[in-house]
Structure 1
Amino acid sequence: GKGHTIVDMEAILDGTAQYGFDVRLDNMLYASIVRPPVLGSQVAKLDDKAARAVAGVVDVIKLPTPQGAPSFQPLGGVAVLATNSWSAAQGRAALAIEWTSSANDSHDSSAYLTALKQAVQESGKPVRQMGEQQQSWPADKTIEAVYSVPYLAHAMMEPPTATANVTESGVEIWASTQTPQSAQGTVAGALGLEAEKVIVHVTLLGGGFGRKSKPDYCVEAALLSREVKRPVKVCWSREDELQNGYLHAISAQYFKARVGDNGVEAMLQRTGFPSISSTFAEGVDEPSASELDLGFVDVPLAIDSLRCETVKAAAHTRIGWMRSVCNIQHGFGIGVFVDELAHKRGLDTISMWRELLGPDRQETFADQGFNYGNYGETLARHPVDTARYKGVIAAVEQKLATQPKAKANQGWGFAVHRSFTAFVATASLVEVSKDKQLKVLKTIIAIDAGTLVNPDRVASQLEGAVMFGLSIALMGRISFKDGRVEQSNFHDYPLLRLSQCPEIETILVSSDAPPGGVGEPGVPPVAPSIVNAIFAASGVRVRDLPLSDHFSV
């Protein structure tokens, strides 16, 4: 319950802390790898003469072609190994490679999203039914909307980096990894060793957000070290990370509600996105139950009829979890739709949420067609408690009451979301000028994460979550053309700049409940709070991210 400085703060500040790129071993080689530009393509023809002629280049090695589902396998391609990173990069640039065709050559993210948005407006597979299915949707009582979020990249500051030393006695790995157990097991499997013969040294991450829990880069380093019988460091470039990483799924959601004099009488919602499961099994084109539990089927709405459906969506790239995972799109969809419902009902958004949440209770979702996973926790220990939803709502509402009145062309927006067993409410103030310049002025964010061990770090995580959520909302998009990612670096996949960052005020709600999540729950309500604020400021309703498509940010 007391704030403490993190144990390695001084080392981070004075430069002695070790990140993945800082690892240096005797006799070490640096590897720069050209990976297939389209998922599923392979090296058809290779001319490496010019690469081998670069000073410092020691070897050029073709990596094995992955078989089956991507999983955590390396993508294949060609590695240039050199005595220094510059020579490795120059040798890589000198490679002449022809690639085979792939089933994903025609993937166009714009066309894919258009089809996905159409699909969610048609009948889907039911995954939750509360009450009787609504059959009547009178036009004067019905509101409907479709929301979309594009592909997103993790874009952490240090791209994936791993150093491996394979010897007769086993393997040592130095890596910026979030899951050393997974790195150990995956490397052992790739090299045909017992897990005990793989030792993983964990460096500081340089940012992870889920990407560095996927140890394909550790396997690359180990395979190359075994081949050259020397330590090898694999350093992904920024371009590699954006174009060959694991992306957050492109998605579309459909919401329809019947609104009566006394509130929302029925709601229908559908979601469609390529599943993370497609990374681990071939032919998967439907979301898993664990993905639907992330803000789609688990919102405790107190209405008579609620139906949740899914639609099919095939994967054309590696899909992976990213900070808050499917709560990103699901929190955005429900967060904006509730704001639209509020305007239909003539209520403010906070009052609309209280109405939809209904009486204080602990929702069990019994007899509704699905078994709630609850992030691996029991509902007895971490209940879906509407009173705790209302607690963070009230905390933000009280803070809003102390804020100056919004000026002309300004507006506040609100959203609330539960994820990773924590409850978070967010209010944002934006300004929209007549020439469509958007500026986020302030964000207030409150969390009830149960018992707080180190409040200082909780507040820092919330601040980081706001920045992460703002990057997604304002500018986040990875697009595909002819199967290839179009973005390559921060010039066309920008992150939040200091000039774009609002004042951030955090509220830590006191609770004696068991500790819940902190790092991820702050992200989902940020984007909808911004979009709802834009509507309050300008009357413009945005349903498709990023906001840079609609405004100058």
Structure 2
Amino acid sequence: MRNAPHSVERAFSRRDFLRAGLTVGIAASGGLLLGVSFNARSDGGAAPASVIAGDGSLQAPPDQFAPNAFIRIDPDGTVALVVSKVEMGQGVYTAIPMLLAEELEVPLERVKLEHAPPDAALYADPLLGQQATGGSLSIRATWEPMRRAGAAARMLLIRAAAQAWQVEPASCVARNAVVTHTASGRTLGYGELASRAAALPVDADLMKTVALKKPQAFTLIGTPHKRLDSPEKVNGVARFGIDVREPGMRVAMVVNCPVIGGTLAHVDDRVALAQPGVRQIVKLDTAVAVVADHTWAAKRGASALVIDWHEGANAALTSAMLFDDLRRASERQGVAARTDGDVDAGFKNAAQKVDAVYQQPFLAHATMEPMNCTVHVTADQCEVWLGTQVPTRIVDAAVKVTGLPPEKIIVHNFLIGGGFGRRLEADVAAQAVAIGKQVDAPVKVMWSREEDIQHDMFRPCYYDRLSAGLDASGKPVAWTHRIAGSSIVARWYPAWFKNGIDPDVIEVAASLPYAIHAQRIDYVRQEPRGVPTAFWRGVGPTRGAFVVESFIDELALQAKADPVEYRRALLGQTPRARNVLEVAARAAGWGTALPKGKGRGVAVMHAFGSFFCMIAEVDVKDGNVRVERIVCAVDCGHVVNPNTIEAQIEGGAIFGITATLWGEITLKDGRVEQTNFTDYRMMRINEAPRIETIIVRSGEDPGGIGEPGTSAVIPALTNAIFAATGTRVRRLPVGDQLRAGQTA
């Protein structure tokens, strides 16, 4: 789609806008246009709003409300939903339309979801503070606003039909995109009513006062539904960023400096330029790009380059040096993230004390779709095609590189072939624009898999110190946890980094579901020298769940207690967590005997607004771990599409198992040692376990689902390895540690 999703006429006055999260206008086609806010003011007062002008541009008058989504009902009955969330495999292009369709009373297949253009004033997620897809927030952010928007639109359509028939709106009902007068049986379709509904006067409180369905009345929400985007992905019609083909387009393959922080010294490009199809060589401060007529020519040219680099200050950097930095940092007093009770007295009076140190490595994202970005830079405009989680950041990056004003940057967003947080960054887009400035044509800039893995924005490495004081019965009476590691938030969104605390880093660690009276959790920020770090499918909870749930297992061992029973006794004040533990334990057959070499492990987690319990069953032979079964009980509040939840838990679990067993980025001589899937291993399909998901029904608001499965499975797996072998895993990945006896 192009920069604006649709054009409408400015044929309505500002006073006609609803002031509590809904704007109403007449589309250029004569249909109904609604602008919907995800963060309406509670006082009902006026706030800025936006419309799509007749020229297709998005405009935000200063005295109107700025919506986060647009709903358009055309005269043919088509319902178009323009929303800022992007589809990267998590299923939001089905689940969000389900919210709207439920209350609007239209068939789900009739709702067409379109990418929103980059515009933070219109499309910022109120929970993130910017236009972004991440944090497992898509359904959490849209749950009520989308339903209210559908209900308000339905009410306007009913009023329009009642006006046409000169009857009371209460005598009409809407079903299946048709309004029916119950007494006479007369009907009018939504398409026939759209323009009439757009012209109706509306009261300012419609969005707040419109009646929403009770959960027991849902006919769509909570029912399994096939993904609306699956057919096009199967038949090849779906377009991802890497699929872009523009007239006259060239392809550039990038060779980045292999040493982190190094710069270009000299390049001998004579052989590269002699390759058939190679057009030019573009030199940047830290990279060289070969521009050619097609991908193969660009790859051949890139392999023929002879490059000298200034390796810089990080030329001798190793992973061991970085972990030594973390170890020393962990010996310093950190910034307190949580302090409860008298911790020192708790340890003084404890019957015994348990200490542990846990380490986790850098991780790459290794998305199925390698990093790519197509650009066309001219003197007065920059056009960008890619799949991104942060379209407005792409605009900002292009502005910085080109010097053009934001209105001259056009971003076309596509489906994303794997994000995991990698596409929350704009580094590749910035590089592509810098290359595009030197190319007199559209150019698709591509990273090979090797460049992708070796120059990723990595999940940080961490070093955690924990201590617990236990009473005579083995229950914890004092708990300390010091986290040393990078702060992604301090770089990515500084406003969230307050008083030295990164809220992502401490998630899970600073909000234990367990009843422990005296706790002290602190954080020491230690950035890895020169290594860029970024979000990775639940960074804080992924790190925190492994550490906390592994340590809880260690305490259960000291108490000579069953791991499930030990947790159950500490979860009396967190009934949702206790419930998923009990559900999962029953389903997994916890307590039944397993053959020698096999073991079960358990982990409980509350993160992203959801409660998880994972139980893993493994078979360990000759130091090789085979994960045979995963049982997951999840309470994520109201369920929109159970199919999506199951798929996300399955994918998240496999992602987490892969990282636990093999995931590790290491540095030597300032270089990332891993190059491709040969040495940054992915789980094979024949290695995938049986995964059983039990959705615990709940009346709470929805929680997140895209990332928790990855976070919760890691400690369940390492605890299962301990149950099978008696060897405690405190350092990831497991890899060949079991054979070498290096786990603890």
TM-score tier, shorter chain, comes to 0.7 to 0.9
The reply on whether 1:392 has 2:392 as its aligned counterpart is no
- 1:104-253 matches, within 5 Å, as 104-117=314-327, 119-120=329-330, 123-134=333-344, 136=347, 141-253=352-464
1:424 alignment partner in structure 2: 612
1:436 to 618, 623, 636: 623
Measured in 1, the distance between the counterparts of 2:584 and 2:547 equals 21
Shift of 1:164: 1.2
The answer to which of 295-304 and 9-18 deviates more is: 295-304
Shift of 1:118: 5.3
Shift of 1:86: 1.2
2:86 alignment partner in structure 1: none
SS in 2 for 1:134: helix
Given that 1:222 and 1:232 are in contact with CA atoms closer than 8 Å, whether structure 2 keeps it comes out as: no
SS in 1 for 2:417: coil
The reply on whether 1:21 has 2:242 as its aligned counterpart is yes
Measured in 2, the distance between the counterparts of 1:124 and 1:517 equals 29
Measured in 2, the distance between the counterparts of 1:134 and 1:101 equals 48
The answer to which of 7-16 and 543-552 deviates more is: 543-552
- 1:251-290 matches, within 5 Å, as 251-262=462-473, 263-277=475-489, 279=491, 288-290=501-503
1:372 alignment partner in structure 2: none
Shift of 1:405: 3.6
The reply on whether 1:332 has 2:520 as its aligned counterpart is no
SS in 2 for 1:256: strand
Measured in 1, the distance between the counterparts of 2:330 and 2:565 equals 28
2:512 alignment partner in structure 1: 299
Measured in 2, the distance between the counterparts of 1:121 and 1:416 equals 29
Shift of 1:114: 4.1
Q: Which runs of no fewer than 5 residues in structure 2 stay unpaired?
A: 1-221
1:97 alignment partner in structure 2: 307
Shift of 1:402: 7.9
Measured in 2, the distance between the counterparts of 1:518 and 1:539 equals 32
Shift of 1:47: 2.1
Shift of 1:232: 0.5
Amino acid at match of 2:360: V
Amino acid at match of 1:267: W
1:308 alignment partner in structure 2: 521
For residues 212-265 of structure 1, the C-alpha deviation after alignment (integer angstroms, 9 at most, x for no partner) is 121222222223223222100011111111111100001111111111124211
Shift of 1:18: 1.4
SS in 2 for 1:162: strand
For residues 114-149 of structure 1, the C-alpha deviation after alignment (integer angstroms, 9 at most, x for no partner) is 452454356444332111131545896011111111
2:79 alignment partner in structure 1: none
SS in 1 for 2:708: coil
Query: Could you state the TM-score of these two structures normalised by the residue count of structure 2?
Result: 0.66
Shift of 1:42: 0.9
Measured in 1, the distance between the counterparts of 2:393 and 2:606 equals 28
Aligned CA distance change for structure 1 residues 480 and 104 (closer, same or farther; 3 Å): same
Shift of 1:62: 1.4
1:31 alignment partner in structure 2: 252
Shift of 1:55: 1.5
Shift of 1:310: 2.4
The reply on whether 1:500 has 2:713 as its aligned counterpart is no
Shift of 1:460: 0.2
Given that 1:211 and 1:246 are in contact with CA atoms closer than 8 Å, whether structure 2 keeps it comes out as: yes
CA RMSD of aligned residues (A): 2.3
Measured in 2, the distance between the counterparts of 1:484 and 1:111 equals 13
- 1:364-513 matches, within 5 Å, as 386-401=574-589, 405-433=593-621, 435-513=622-700
Amino acid at match of 2:648: Q
For residues 437-491 of structure 1, the C-alpha deviation after alignment (integer angstroms, 9 at most, x for no partner) is 2211100112111111111011100000110000111100000011110000000
Measured in 1, the distance between the counterparts of 2:607 and 2:664 equals 23
Measured in 1, the distance between the counterparts of 2:410 and 2:699 equals 39
Measured in 2, the distance between the counterparts of 1:249 and 1:132 equals 32
Measured in 2, the distance between the counterparts of 1:388 and 1:224 equals 52
Amino acid at match of 2:588: L
Given that 1:32 and 1:80 are in contact with CA atoms closer than 8 Å, whether structure 2 keeps it comes out as: yes
The reply on whether 1:84 has 2:84 as its aligned counterpart is no
The reply on whether 1:356 has 2:570 as its aligned counterpart is yes
Given that 1:431 and 1:438 are in contact with CA atoms closer than 8 Å, whether structure 2 keeps it comes out as: yes
Aligned CA distance change for structure 1 residues 121 and 425 (closer, same or farther; 3 Å): farther
Shift of 1:308: 1.2
Given that 1:428 and 1:530 are in contact with CA atoms closer than 8 Å, whether structure 2 keeps it comes out as: yes
Measured in 1, the distance between the counterparts of 2:304 and 2:689 equals 44
Measured in 2, the distance between the counterparts of 1:2 and 1:387 equals 26
The answer to which of 264-273 and 173-182 deviates more is: 173-182
Measured in 2, the distance between the counterparts of 1:287 and 1:538 equals 40
Aligned CA distance change for structure 1 residues 295 and 281 (closer, same or farther; 3 Å): closer
Shift of 1:352: 2.1
Shift of 1:29: 0.8
The reply on whether 1:342 has 2:529 as its aligned counterpart is no
Aligned CA distance change for structure 1 residues 455 and 552 (closer, same or farther; 3 Å): farther
Measured in 1, the distance between the counterparts of 2:253 and 2:417 equals 19
Amino acid at match of 1:158: E
Q: Which runs of no fewer than 5 residues in structure 1 stay unpaired?
A: 66-75, 361-385
1:364 alignment partner in structure 2: none
Amino acid at match of 1:504: I
Aligned CA distance change for structure 1 residues 502 and 403 (closer, same or farther; 3 Å): farther
Measured in 1, the distance between the counterparts of 2:661 and 2:713 equals 11
The answer to which of 298-307 and 333-342 deviates more is: 298-307
Shift of 1:343: 0.9
Amino acid at match of 1:234: V
Query: Could you state the TM-score of these two structures normalised by the residue count of structure 1?
Result: 0.88
1:68 alignment partner in structure 2: none
Given that 1:155 and 1:242 are in contact with CA atoms closer than 8 Å, whether structure 2 keeps it comes out as: yes
Amino acid at match of 1:191: T
Amino acid at match of 2:578: K
1:527 alignment partner in structure 2: 714
Amino acid at match of 1:304: H
Measured in 2, the distance between the counterparts of 1:397 and 1:448 equals 15
Measured in 2, the distance between the counterparts of 1:288 and 1:353 equals 28
The answer to which of 340-349 and 218-227 deviates more is: 218-227
2:230 alignment partner in structure 1: 9
Shift of 1:163: 0.9
Measured in 1, the distance between the counterparts of 2:329 and 2:396 equals 39
Given that 1:420 and 1:517 are in contact with CA atoms closer than 8 Å, whether structure 2 keeps it comes out as: yes
Measured in 1, the distance between the counterparts of 2:403 and 2:718 equals 51
SS in 1 for 2:679: coil
Aligned CA distance change for structure 1 residues 306 and 505 (closer, same or farther; 3 Å): same
Shift of 1:26: 1.1
Given that 1:278 and 1:315 are in contact with CA atoms closer than 8 Å, whether structure 2 keeps it comes out as: no
Size of the aligned set, in residue pairs, is: 513
Amino acid at match of 1:500: E
2:78 alignment partner in structure 1: none
Aligned CA distance change for structure 1 residues 119 and 188 (closer, same or farther; 3 Å): closer
The answer to which of 530-539 and 166-175 deviates more is: 166-175
Percent identical residues: 35
- Which of structures 1 and 2 has the bigger CA Rg? 2
